[in-house]
Amino acid sequence: MPKRKGITVSRQIMDSQRSHPEATGELTGLLNDLIVAGKIISSEVNMAGLADILGQSGQINVQGEQVQKLDDFANLTIKRRMEQCGYVCIMGSEEDEGTIPVLDGYEGKYTLAFDPLDGSSNIDVNVSIGTIFSIHRRKSHGKQGELDDLLQKGREQVAAGYIIYGSSTMLVYTVGEGVQGFTLDPSVGEFFLSHPDIKIPERAKYYSINEAYSRYWYDSTTAYIEHLKDLDESGERSYSLRYIGSLVADFHRNLINGGVFVYPRDRKSPDKPGKLRLLYEAAPLAFLVEQAGGRAIDDQGRNILDVEPQDLHQRVPLIIGSKEEVNLAERFFTGKV
């Protein structure tokens, strides 16, 4: 008797749709098309060492960063598939300065913001990288979507998730009914439910921050990290540092094992509130972590999901992870300690 493979992501999405009689199936279609793009990217990422696709394309993206060839491939794969899926009216990508239209006649009722391949500077050294996505319902009523359709608060998200290309390829997503994790079985090209209803541990003594910037930290950041590094009541070292430098990988580890990830603003770039982007990095991960029982705030203690976007590539300081760990961080960043 062949071993049962379990529930596929398509079946899970359909079951979720069935529990909403008013659902039209468009979100289901959107997610399924996005998942196909993820499978194509996964195949390319996993062969990168063999194909001539490693390394830099020679272009510079809107963030002023070297575009890796796989970045390009991932960005084009998602744009080409989603511009004609019929479920999306406008897109925003970390790799594109402006908004991305869909093909005429294929306008749908959702918007898609995405980071096609986050952590791509790690591609050549085989560190886990990922695609992050955020989906809103459009507000405008014309044919093509408008920028304002993308500039919605994270709390208004309809769905969000990431695909992490690591030792295995996993899809982790939410439609507001908890967080589900699926693992790709490349032998059949299907994502199977492997982590049902993920909950992040309320506390865990792991913190993720790039300590190389400590000379630029504001006092609140320094005080918080020094506190974590203090000995605990029994004189033992308390917290451990885990930092990969790939947001999706750091977030995924903390989601499963617990911990807190911090990317604060610093004196090195006083005009920039940190490095990470609100629309297609912080907000989708904040939706996921809150659905998994965690928290995500900025360095003023504001819930990331309540931050009003003003710009497609808006940055935001990010403190995200286990509820108790974020609560502790919040006390330091908001001067309560």
Rounded Cα–Cα distance for residues 266 and 268 (Å): 5
**Distance of closest approach, residue 282 Cβ to ligand P6P, in angstroms:** 11
Ranges within 191-210 binding ligand P6P (CB under 6 A): 210
Q: Is the dihedral of CA 100, 80, 160, 72 positive or negative?
A: negative
Site for ligand P6P in 99-128 (CB under 6 A): 118-119, 121
Least spacing, CB of residue 220 vs ligand P6P, in Å: 19
Contacts of residue 219, Cβ cutoff 8 Å, sequence gap at least 6? none
Q: Least Å distance between CB 281 and ligand P6P?
A: 7
Are 200 and 179 in contact, with CB atoms under 8 Å apart?
A: no
State the minimum distance, in angstroms, from the CB of residue 146 to ligand P6P.
27
For residue 11, the cross-strand partners are none
Q: Which two tokens stand for residue 161?
A: 């998730």
**Nearer to ligand P6P (CB atom), residue 111 or residue 246:** 246
Q: Does 266 bind ligand P6P (CB under 6 A)?
A: no
Backbone phi, psi, residue 281, to 5°: -130, -70
Phi, psi of 196 (to 5 degrees): -70, 140
CB nearer to ligand P6P: pick between 149 and 299 = 299
Q: Which is nearer to ligand P6P, 138 or 253 (CB)?
A: 253
In the complex with ligand P6P, the residue whose CB is nearer, 85 or 312, is: 312
Shortest spacing between CB 11 and ligand P6P, in angstroms: 31
Instruction: Using CB under 6 A, count the residues that bind ligand P6P.
Output: 9
Complex with ligand P6P: residue 179 or 249, whichever CB lies closer: 249
Whether residue 160 contacts residue 287, with contact meaning beta carbons closer than 8 Å, is answered with yes
CB nearer to ligand P6P: pick between 110 and 261: 261
Shorter beta-carbon distance to ligand P6P: residue 202 or 211: 211
Residue 325, strand partner residues? none
For residue 58, the tally of other CB atoms under 10 A from its CB is: 8
What mask, x for binding ligand P6P by CB under 6 A, covers residues 218 to 257? ---------------------------xxx--x-------
Burial class (CB in 10 A: 0-12, 13-18, 19+), 183: middle
Q: How far is the CB of 121 from ligand P6P (least distance, A)?
A: 5
Please name the residue that has the structure tokens 């594109």. 96
State the Cα–Cα distance between residues 311 and 304, nearest whole angstrom: 15
User: At its nearest, how many Å lie between ligand P6P and the CB of residue 65?
Assistant: 7
Q: How many CB atoms lie within 10 A of CB 96?
A: 16
Contacting residues for 270 by C-beta, under 8 A, at least 6 apart: none
- If the CB atoms of residues 12 and 120 are measured against ligand P6P, the closer one turns out to be 120
Distance between CA atoms of 166 and 2, rounded to whole angstroms?
A: 27
Binding site for ligand P6P (CB under 6 A): 118-119, 121, 210, 245-247, 250, 275
